[in-house]
Amino acid sequence: MPETHSYSQADALVDSQADSLAQAQAAPEFMQIQQAFTAHLRDPDQQPPPAGIEDRRLRIYRELIFNNVASLLEQGFPVLYQCLGRERWQALIRGFLIAHRAETPLFPELGQELLAYLSTAGALRPEDPPFVRELAHYEWVETALIFSDAEAGPALADPNGDLLDGVPVISPLAWNLSYRFPVHRISAAFQPHAPDPEPTHLVVYRTRQERVAFLKINVVTQRLLVLLREHSHRSGRDLLNSIALELQHPRPAQLIEAGRSLLDDLRERQILLGTRRL
């Protein structure tokens, strides 16, 4: 039988480097110098610098690039940094600089680029905590909400409307999220080794005071918020009746009355804006 060969990551890396080398050789000399310079800044251990540049000067650029990126991302992912520790964090940032090609030049979106890198094979080591990707996403959500251009003003809803008989309106600045790990509790002192038996459901939202907060919710509230997103024309009472049918609740009226209090609480927290205007 002929020998089979699987196309590995190493093969892909060799082909990529060969393509880059071919492009660099075909480019004008100044572009070759630029490409060699930036490749060296990303990966100083493996990529030689352009000839004729004093190492003392190169070291200034190497440290400037690495320290700025590491510091900026540390501010956006403080808990992740604490959990990984300084040495592993620096290794993660070095891998990010070497392997990832950002699609945006905007600093506020750099965290999203780190998320994209973390989703790739090879970004994490076997000894890394199993919650790294979920924790990173949870921390990124706060930044994304802070910089979001979405509006949650009174024009979107009647803030005093009847949430049961009217159509509740969810704030576009309220994100309904589910994680395998209790990401809101993770810290340097609490690092779970396995997911919880049940998912953790959270609403992370930005208030009118420009403060980002979170609310841990149960599966019924999570289901209600999903239905409110999917059925933006149905009343609160109608949706609560649907949930009662799904749960085969023996006393639907009791669930609806509890739902009234829940809807009021979500409005008080600014997760709901009120009811749809006629």
Are 273 and 232 spatial neighbours (Cβ–Cβ below 8 Å)?
no
Distance CA 178, CA 200 (A): 6
Backbone angles phi, psi at 75, to 5 degrees: -65, -35
In this structure, the answer to whether residues 207 and 253 fall within a common structural domain is: yes
Taking only the tens place, the pLDDT of each residue in 12-40 is 444 555 555 555 455 567 677 778 778 77
- Of 181, 141, 135, 173, nearest to 156 by C-alpha is 173
Full residue range of the structural domain in which residue 122 is found: 54-146
Q: Is the pLDDT of residue 128 over 70?
A: yes
**pLDDT reported for residue 27:** 58
Lowest mean pLDDT among 97-101, 131-135, 151-155: 151-155
In this structure, the answer to whether residues 84 and 125 fall within a common structural domain is: yes
Assigned domain for 46 exists: no
Q: Is the pLDDT of residue 278 over 90?
A: no
**pLDDT reported for residue 24:** 47
Domain final position from 146, 165, 191:
146
Assigned domain for 4 exists: no
Taking only the tens place, the pLDDT of each residue in 39-97 is 777 888 888 888 878 888 888 988 998 999 999 999 999 999 999 999 999 999 999 99
Assigned domain for 237 exists: yes
**pLDDT reported for residue 153:** 79
C-beta pairs of 141-147 under 8 Å, 24+ apart in sequence: 141/175, 141/177, 141/204, 142/204, 142/212, 143/76, 143/108, 143/111, 144/111, 144/112, 145/173, 145/175, 145/204, 145/205, 145/206, 145/212, 146/206, 146/210, 146/212, 147/108
**Predicted structure pTM score:** 0.84
Distance CA 239, CA 247 (A): 12
Percent of the chain with pLDDT over 70: 90
| Mean pLDDT confidence for 150-154 | 84
Assigned domain for 48 exists: no
Report the SS3 class of residue 164: coil
In this structure, the answer to whether residues 106 and 171 fall within a common structural domain is: no
Assigned domain for 43 exists: no
Output the domain CATH number for residue 179: 3.90.930.50
Count the domains in the chain: 2
